[in-house]
Amino acid sequence: MTNPRQLAFIALRDVHKGAYADVALDRVLQKVNLPDSDRRLVTELVYGSVRRQRTLDTLIDQFAKKKSHQQPQDLRTILHLGFYQLRYQERIPASAAVNTTVQLAKENGFSGLTGFVNGLLRQYLRKAEGQGSRGVGEIRGQGDKETRQIINPQSPVPSPQSPVPHFDPLQLPENPVERLGILHSFPDWIIQVWLEQLGLTETEQLCEWMNQSPTIDLRINPLCTSIEEVEAALQSVGLLVRRIPDLPQALRFIGNTGSIQKLPGFREGWWTVQDASAQLVSHLLDPQPGEVVIDACAAPGGKTTHIAELMADSGKIWACDRTASRLRKLQENSQRLDLQSIQIYTGDSRHSNQFQNTADRVLLDAPCSGLGTMHRHADARWRQTPESVLELSVLQKELLTHTSTFVKAGGVLVYATCTLHPAENEEVISAFLAASPHWQIEPPRGIELAASAYSTPQGWFKVWPHRQDMDGFFMVRLRKTNNSE
């Protein structure tokens, strides 16, 4: 079976049974040999339908007599695929989107409801058609970027920032939290968290950014190559990359890459994949050659290997994690990058006592809700809840309290998360400092240019994706005073 839409349906069916979207997609793609264009289509349909689930459900609620949650689950999934193509896939003709969705219904146990499926999707088109200016007036986009206006065959692809036109078939409530939540497909509680920090305009910009397809960033390994050499090697096979300000090891791909493992320099250990904002964390730690450094939640190891590179692979890095299988990925990367200074410790850093007062520097890249990286994890917005965030904040406080004992007097601890929720960031640090008189926030050293772009008056770093065009991150550098016990 090589029908991309059928493959997407199978993957989405698994997601709705509880599977992670990336796992379900990989499982489906591994069983077939598809052309790259079809693989991209399956990937787009799966991730897009999961991301836009709330919007798609609202369309079903609006146009069908039975609400989305009352529909048979498989039929709901099929309707998601149809509406997703009509609303967000400019390159797929409306007729093809409708006809292939009807065919999906026929082939997956709903042959008696093909008229319903056809009618529902065409009703959406007619709604737009009646208020728009051409035969197919739906809002449609390139990839998963909302384009917000009618697409004419002769017109350029519009900007994602174009204003919402009055002829959008999607009906939205006045309440700003619900309106943004339905339009951009996020739970209300996430919208509320962002509104409280950013206000309406920037919250909408952040929503739009989070619904884009993610970019791929590289971190070159300066121990065996240079950024110029990697640029030249990638350009020699027709790949475009650009440098990222303030990050001396970072390159960002422009366009599709194909298989990462097959690119020049991967096997040789010239580079590894790591998002730009994650690279900032190790620069903030600023490890020096010959030091003892502990990475308290190390797997899968991107920051651990970066620390080793910044230390010129000289000194000792303890990579700690409680999951042995995740540490294997770290070991594989260490070997590929030819790094010798990393030592593995399997165990929970909350209960490790042998490291007390041993480290010059500690990195606590804490487990978190991942609200800064939701563009990379299509289903993360639906898996986290306010309750899970509070549970994580308890874990983060326990980890910070214990791993701070690993640091020698005068040493440094960097706390980092890839979330944008104050309960996991500012509140964790404020509680720790209130209970720990021998610790204080220290302004960053090393990458001063970056410090001006990301630092806050309180002394911590906050990377907002819509401002800096990289994953959302929080990080703070703490110094243990010399007079501490």
**What is the set of active-site residues?**
418
What are the C-alpha distances in Å from 457 to residues 426, 432, 445?
A: 12, 18, 16
User: Which residue in 146, 214, 207, 213 sits closest to 181, CA to CA?
Assistant: 207
- In the three-class reduction of DSSP (H, G, I as helix; E, B as strand; rest coil), residue 287 is classed as coil
Instruction: Give the H or E element holding residue 454.
Output: helix 448-454
CA angle 445, 447, 450 (to 5 degrees): 120
Rounded CA gap, 291 and 288, in Å? Answer: 6
Residue with tokens 């839409």: 5
Phi first, then psi: what are they for 96, rounded to 5°? -65, -40
How would you class 449 by CB atoms within 10 Å of its CB: exposed for 0-12, middle for 13-18, buried for 19 or more?
A: exposed
Helices and strands counted in the chain (H then E): 19, 12
Rounded CA gap, 57 and 77, in Å? Answer: 10
Rounded CA gap, 465 and 206, in Å? Answer: 7
Phi first, then psi: what are they for 21, rounded to 5°? -60, -45
Q: Identify each DSSP E strand in 174-297 by its residue range.
A: 217-220, 240-243, 250-254, 271-273, 292-295
Phi first, then psi: what are they for 376, rounded to 5°? -85, -25
Q: How many CB atoms lie within 10 A of CB 213?
A: 16
Q: In angstroms, what is the C-alpha Rg of the chain?
A: 24
How would you class 33 by CB atoms within 10 Å of its CB: exposed for 0-12, middle for 13-18, buried for 19 or more?
A: exposed
Token pair recorded at residue 61: 């609620």
